[in-house]
Amino acid sequence: MKDTSLDAFYEHKKSQKLQAQQLKIVSVMQPAKVYTRRELAQLSGIETSTVSARVNSMIDTVIEIVGTKKDTTTGKTVEALQLKVAA
């Protein structure tokens, strides 16, 4: 069992199971911090639409939805994302 999703991330990185863009997105995330897809796009330098697609593919494996958060750019309420903590 992994103690944190960070351990799982590094294991994925070693095994090359995550694609390059997925790795870039996960690498900018800090444990226990909550992000929007737009924030992850800004931090990673990847287009928001691409981040959305990559994040969606990692939901419930590496990233989890932990509620909602207000997007500071649009003012809309969006999903709040966090690195998944392994059980």
pLDDT of amino acid 1? 41
pLDDT of amino acid 53? 96
Return the CATH number of the domain spanning residue range 5-83. Answer: 1.10.10.10
Give domain limits for the chain: 5-83
Q: Which residue ranges in the chain fall short of pLDDT 50?
A: 1-2
Can you tell me the distance from the alpha carbon of 74 to that of 25, in angstroms, rounded to the nearest whole number? 21
pLDDT of amino acid 7? 67
Place of tokens 């800004």: 42
Which residue spans within the chain are E strands per DSSP? 63-70, 77-83
* 62 within 8 A of 84, measured Cβ to Cβ: yes
pLDDT of amino acid 85? 81
